C-alpha cells in the first residue's frame, strides 16, 4: 500500500492511542506543553492533567474500557476480598494508561511539529535556490544559506536563530 491509501483509510475510532483530528489541529499548542508535567498531573490528579492539555476524549475512551472490564469481572466473581484488590489493580492500570496516553499525545505533537518545520524549511531552500540568479551577491547568499542550514541540521544554532539569520540573508537580496 502506498502512503496516500494509508492516509485515506478511516482510523479506528475506538483506539485511544491514536491522535484525534482535534489533536492534529492543535499540534502547536500540544507541542508547547511539557510531557513530564502532563504525566505527573494525569497520574496524581487526573482532572489536572486533562485541564493542562485541554483534551479528554481519549482518556474517556480508556476510562470506558476500564469500567467495561471491571463490570465484566464483577459479573464473574463474587464480592470477595480478592476482587477488591483486583479492582484496585485495574484502577491503577487505567490511571497508568491514561497517563501514558497523555504523555504520548504531547510527544507525538512535538514530532509532528518537527516534521512540518523540516518540510517547510526544505521547500523554502529549494524555492530560494531556484529564484536566485548567477550574480555574485546572490550566489554568496545561497552559500550563506547552505552553511546556515548545515549549522541548523547539526544543532549548532537554535531554530529561532536560524530563522532570524535566514531572514537577514534573504532581506539583503
Alpha-carbon span 14 to 25, nearest angstrom: 19
Alpha-carbon span 91 to 114, nearest angstrom: 35
What is the per-residue pLDDT across 39-70, written as a single tens digit (0 to 9) for each? Answer: 999 999 988 988 999 888 888 899 999 999 88
In this prediction, residue 127 carries a pLDDT of 59
What is the per-residue pLDDT across 99-146, written as a single tens digit (0 to 9) for each? Answer: 999 999 999 998 888 887 766 666 666 655 555 444 667 777 788 888
In this prediction, residue 134 carries a pLDDT of 45
Alpha-carbon span 96 to 165, nearest angstrom: 44
Measuring CA to CA, which residue among 39, 43, 23 is closest to residue 108? 23
What does the chain come to in residues? Answer: 173
> How sure is the predictor about 152, in pLDDT bands with cuts at 50, 70 and 90?
confident
All residues at 6 or more sequence positions from 170 whose CB lies less than 8 Å from its CB, including other chains: 128, 141, 145
Helix 35-44 and helix 46-53: axis angle, to 10°?
Answer: 150
In this prediction, residue 106 carries a pLDDT of 92
Strand residues in the chain grouped as ranges (E): none
Cell numbers given for 168: 537577514
Cα dihedral 73/78/83/87 (nearest 10): 40
Measuring CA to CA, which residue among 91, 89, 34, 84 is closest to residue 62? 91
Greater model confidence, 102 or 78: 102
Measuring CA to CA, which residue among 165, 125, 127, 130 is closest to residue 146? 125
Q: Which of 5-9, 76-80, 91-95 has the highest mean pLDDT?
A: 91-95
Amino acid at each position: 500500500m502506498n502512503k496516500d491509501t494509508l492516509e485515506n483509510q478511516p482510523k479506528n475510532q475506538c483506539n485511544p492511542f491514536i491522535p484525534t483530528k482535534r489533536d492534529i489541529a492543535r499540534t502547536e499548542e500540544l507541542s508547547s506543553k511539557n510531557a513530564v508535567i502532563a504525566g505527573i498531573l494525569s497520574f496524581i490528579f487526573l482532572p489536572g492533567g486533562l485541564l493542562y492539555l485541554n483534551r479528554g476524549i481519549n482518556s474517556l475512551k480508556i476510562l470506558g474500557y476500564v469500567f467495561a472490564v471491571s463490570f465484566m469481572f464483577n459479573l464473574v466473581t463474587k464480592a470477595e476480598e480478592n476482587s477488591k484488590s483486583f479492582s484496585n489493580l485495574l484502577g491503577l492500570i487505567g490511571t497508568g494508561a491514561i497517563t501514558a496516553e497523555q504523555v504520548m499525545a504531547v510527544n507525538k505533537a512535538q514530532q509532528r511539529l518537527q516534521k512540518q518545520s523540516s518540510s517547510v524549511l526544505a521547500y523554502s531552500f529549494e524555492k530560494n535556490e531556484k529564484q536566485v540568479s548567477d550574480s555574485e551577491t546572490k550566489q554568496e547568499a545561497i552559500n550563506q544559506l547552505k552553511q546556515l542550514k548545515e549549522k541548523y541540521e547539526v544543532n549548532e544554532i537554535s531554530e529561532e536563530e536560524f530563522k532570524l539569520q535566514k531572514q537577514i540573508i534573504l532581506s539583503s537580496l
